Amino acid sequence: AQKKSLIISTWNHGLPANEETWKQLKDGKPTLDAIEAGMKIPEADPKIRSVGYGGYPDREGKVTLDACIMDHNSDCGSVCFLEGIMHPISVAKLVLEKTPHVMLSGEGALQFALEEGFKKENLLTPESEADWKKWLQESKYEPVINIENHDTISMLVIDDNDNISGGCTTSGAAWKMHGRVGDSPIIGAGLFLDNEVGGAAATGLGEAVMRTAGSAMVVELMRHGRTPFEACKEVVERIYNKHKNHKDMEYLQVGFIAVNKKGEHAGYSLRSGFNYAVYDEEKGNRMEDAQFKMS
């Protein structure tokens, strides 16, 4: 049968991540290694203010990171509220591979990372620190929609064995309360897949995605016959309906990407401005604009 490997990932920073993941897949690397390698690129890039090193800190000036990874057997690993480690996706992968658990948080996640040989580093760049100090003057919490076209990076992969896997990594909402965890490391919220059906991943305001079990719902709708596009749209509509009179509505943005077993894919967001990177055999690596509900 025709191989149909495919990678999709959120936002512009998906392009370099896809590039690396594709290369590793074609070199015959295990799929999770390939996902990890791709996600490490935005994590290490200080210019990307919503992921890893250089990510915006919380209200106390601390950069705290969330990430998860999931394979075609539904095995998963996750870290949340992790401080001082540049590559949370790598720690999440080790939680999957080396522990009896799915999720480690905060101090415990850090301890595990250090035991595994990761180095503790200062992830707050002078640029992010300066922006934080500026923010402190008014200290008004208002998430920024489509933050510089970045936000979380979530990735879904169909490999040459037709298996679906995925990953997700973020520094979370800028100026969040210390200890806040978003949707991104939560299996079922920021990322979910079922190798018999498809996969989905989220970006945007994590609180809204958690309230609606977003990615799990997209996959469940695909199980019941919706295309990736229909499933993403239906969950975004549901999030809109639940939030139209909610205090978060003013700055609410959510977006989903999804793939199914046939290799069909889609993205859909509440507001305009969301796009995702697609890499396939036929057309290579490029950006696609997601459709959206409102401007």
Please select the residue that binds ligand SD4; options are 38, 54, 84, 206, rule is CB under 6 A.
Answer: 206
Q: Does 52 bind ligand SD4 (CB under 6 A)?
A: no
Stretch in the footprint of ligand SD4 (CB under 6 A) among 84-92, 94-102, 124-132, 182-190: 182-190
Is residue 239 classed as helix, strand or coil in its secondary structure? helix
Is residue 82 classed as helix, strand or coil in its secondary structure? strand
Please select the residue that binds ligand SD4; options are 167, 198, 204, 228, rule is CB under 6 A.
Answer: 204
Q: Does 43 bind ligand SD4 (CB under 6 A)?
A: no
* Upper half-sphere CA count for residue 289 (Cβ side, 13 Å): 6
Q: Does 182 bind ligand SD4 (CB under 6 A)?
A: yes
CA–CA gap between residue 104 and residue 78 (Å, rounded)? 6
User: 152, 169, 170, 212: which is the annotated catalytic residue?
Assistant: 152
Whether 152 is catalytic is yes
Q: Which of 292, 211, 199, 216 is nearest to 253 (CA)?
A: 292
Q: What would you report as the CA-atom Rg of the chain, rounded to the nearest whole angstrom?
A: 17
Smallest gap from Cβ 183 to ligand SD4, in A, equals: 5
Work out the number of other CB atoms within 10 angstroms of the CB of residue 114. Answer: 14
Q: Does 203 bind ligand SD4 (CB under 6 A)?
A: yes
E strand segments, the chain? 6-10, 64-70, 76-83, 103-105, 153-158, 164-170, 191-194, 198-204, 254-260, 265-271, 275-280, 284-289, 291-294
Please select the residue that binds ligand SD4; options are 18, 152, 165, 269, rule is CB under 6 A.
Answer: 152
Q: Does 67 bind ligand SD4 (CB under 6 A)?
A: no
Of residues 231-290, which lie at the interface with ligand SD4 (CB under 6 A)? none
| Residue 181 assigned to a binding site | yes
| Residue 248 assigned to a binding site | no
Q: Does 205 bind ligand SD4 (CB under 6 A)?
A: yes
| Residue 206 assigned to a binding site | yes
CA–CA gap between residue 181 and residue 141 (Å, rounded)? 16
What residues act catalytically?
152
By the criterion CB under 6 A, which residues form the site for ligand SD4?
50, 143, 151-152, 170, 172-173, 182-184, 203-206
